[in-house]
Amino acid sequence: MLHVVTGAAGFIGSRLVAALNQAGITEILAVDDLQDGAKVRNLAGAEIADYLDKREFLAQLESGRLDGSIEAVLHQGACSDTMEADGRFMMENNYGYSKALLDWCQEEQVPFIYASSASVYGAGREFAEQRGNERPLNAYAYSKFLFDQYVRRIGERSAQVAGLRYFNVYGPNEQHKGRMASVAFHAFHQYRAEEKVKLFVGSEGFPDGGQQRDFVHVDDAVAVNLWLLENPGVSGIFNCGTGRAQAFNDVAAAVINTIEGSDASADELAERGLIEYIPFPPQLVGKYQSYTQADLTALREAGCTVEFRSVEEGVSSYARELMGT
């Protein structure tokens, strides 16, 4: 029986494949769109049973060729570009495709674990998984929100359906994401190239570099996926973050201190010119989350005890990996 991972060559998907391998699972059907061939690096060390293009995978599902052969679907594939302006593409890729997979899984009684996003909360300050807290600001966020709504409308379920609202995920295997890679990734390479990290000036009452996000290491997010896989009786939509909002300054300081072998505060680094504050790009005005913090009540009540690394722990380990040490 196959474990299907969509977006398998992507950031979270490839780390999920690696974690399945570590758990002794190699009967994996990797599904992705490799128009960006650079992503194959993320799967080069993995053991899989087969690979299918995302369109071919859907065609095989609809034809019945895969009936009875799938143990679970871990759906990580999506267009995650929050600046993508083509709403029709976003809805077809993220919403329509996800609906087709979920419908098949329900018909075949196959567990379905999927990637949602904390972007559904928009500029709000409440992060419990409730409709009143959800105000998406862009097409990406809306596509994720609408699929969560579709999941909520399902009545009696024949198999597990669980969504994870990822907060700001960072870590290995994100290099192909370009400008959509994490703050930690960009801070590391920027410091290496320019000997400074650039952060945005203050906004919405936050000081320079003081905007706060819930930064979660990719392997901690993967651990929650595996916990759901091991607990097929758990369904629902759950936040996936640390439950601790930390400043962008903390990320920059963790990167710089790891590279330099120091222990300076962000204020000290800014005074030395190693952190520089720059104006907001006009295209982000009104579309920027200045604060996010996962409410983990539902996840913990479901029984998940996965521990999440702080920025100081997770970003430092990531920076060391990027340094090759």
Dump pLDDT digits (tens) for 188-240. 999 999 999 999 998 888 999 999 999 999 999 999 999 999 999 999 999 99
Q: Which of 99, 150, 177, 288 is catalytic?
A: 177
**What average pLDDT score do residues 255-274 get?**
97
* pLDDT at site 85: 63
Stronger pLDDT, 85 or 315, i.e. the higher one: 315
The pLDDT score that the predictor gives to residue 289 is 80
User: At which residue do the structure tokens 């899989």 appear?
Assistant: 48
Strand partners, 119: none
At residue 154 the predicted structure's pLDDT band, cuts being 50, 70 and 90, is confident
140 is catalytic: yes
Q: What is the pTM (predicted TM-score) of this model?
A: 0.94
| pLDDT of 10 | 96
Distance CA 251, CA 254 (A): 5
Check whether 81 has a pLDDT greater than 70. Answer: no
CATH 3.40.50.261 matches 2-167+217-242+293-308: no
Q: Check 140, 191, 291, 318 and give the catalytic one.
A: 140
150 carries an active-site annotation: no
Exposed, middle or buried by CB within 10 Å (0-12, 13-18, 19+), for 24?
exposed
How far apart are the C-alpha atoms of 125 and 294, rounded to whole Å? 10
* pLDDT greater at residue 46 or residue 289: 46
- Tell me, what's the pLDDT at 281? 80
- How far, in Å, are 62, 70, 86, 218, 291 from residue 118 at the CA level? 31, 29, 21, 15, 11
Q: Encoding tokens for residue 80?
A: 């995650």
Mean pLDDT of the chain, nearest integer: 94
Of the CA atoms within 13 Å of residue 9, those in its CB half-sphere come to: 19
Q: How far is CA 129 from CA 118, 120, 161, in A?
A: 10, 10, 15
- Give the HSE-up count for residue 248: Cα atoms under 13 Å, Cβ half-sphere: 26
